[in-house]
Structure 1
Amino acid sequence: MIFVFLLYSLLNAQDSDCTEAESVQLPCKCVNISEPVGCTCTGSNHPTDCTCPEDPAELLDIPTNNCPCLNAMDPRAGDECPAFCTSKAQLTPECNCEVQSSSYQQLQCEQDKLCLFDLISQDKSDCECLPTGDPRAGNECPAYCIAYETPTPNCVCDSNPNSQYSLQTCQSAKCPLIVSDNATIPQDCIEQTKKCSNAQLQDLIGIPV
């Protein structure tokens, strides 16, 4: 019983304010800026050598030079600390992927950030080639066509409406059409995003491999 009482007292002392008598002997919350080394930092009192609280919720208003930002559950995220990334649609270069997040997995978050903000260094197996504006075009990804089969026969149509070789012209050249009663659009034309825009015509020939 004595051991249980002492353990209970110790655990509760961690949540109590320091007094002159106990601040050196037991963990306790700093009550002013002159507390000795070892007191637990609080939002209102955080001496230079204070100890960071174990409960992340108690980090609120404690400067990062006292207690560095955590990689999860830090209430200062978005204010004193960088915000946590919450979804692919809301990614920024500055947000941090939260460890053990249940809503946006850390590994997926980190991969999405690479594809968005460091695309030029990524393999196409990790980050698919973009229909326009891909910095890997002509290297890791096919080049964008600037004329028929230029710069290469395997170039792809650029979806940018302001490209010098319009998407419609490029697609028409990539997918020549002939009217046929029983023909269908070849799958490889669709897979290479070389879709023809004329829905009335049903057959495609001369599609570059």
Structure 2
Amino acid sequence: MKNLKVTTGILAIAIALVTLTVMSCKDTKKEHSNEDSLHTEMSADENHSAMNHDNSNGHHDNENKEMTMNADQDGNSELILKDYFNLKNALVADDNSKAKELGGKLAKSLVNLDVSKYTDAQKSELNEIIEDAVEHAEHISESPMAHQREHFKILSKDVTDMVTITGTANTLYEQFCPMYDKGSAWLSMSEEVRNPYYGSKMLKCGKVQKEIN
């Protein structure tokens, strides 16, 4: 009888060990399955990230193409206007360092203007306009904000005189501030007044005095 009890106890222990082993194997398999699932998800995320990266590269490629197209306009009065408006916006934003950078850029665009297609009289007038405009653009590239705005007034007159000869592909608006330096004008592509002479101090001071087509 005693031996039977011992045998039964050993059998019970053996069954328990087998059960634990089976359960352990199931848990290990489940854990492994979870790891596989996680690995799959990570791979999918990596692939998605790679796709986004490729799309990002594609976007930058488009930007580069656009920049190349703009660069191809070198020598064109429209490029001068583009740089002029960027400079105007920097002055509106009271951004001295940006205005310096854009003043230098505008000076280069002005120097590169191709006058070959104009009459001799127009060439002579354009050369005088460009020479004066370059001087003021260069001063803007190295001056504090107050002086930048003084030079921008004369630069704006030069660019307006240039447009009178070259024409423009866009509708422009000549705007006028009666308060700055006894009255000062500038060009804009929008009817909405954003004053480059006072910036945030008197942002909306001025009016449209002429539309240029």
Q: Bin the TM-score by the shorter chain.
A: under 0.3
Considering fraction of residues, name the structure with more helix: 2
Higher normalized strand content (fraction of residues) = 2
- Max Rg structure: 2
TM-score (norm 1): 0.26
Bigger relative CO (Cα 8 Å, ≥ 6 apart): 2
Normalising by structure 2, we get a TM-score of: 0.26
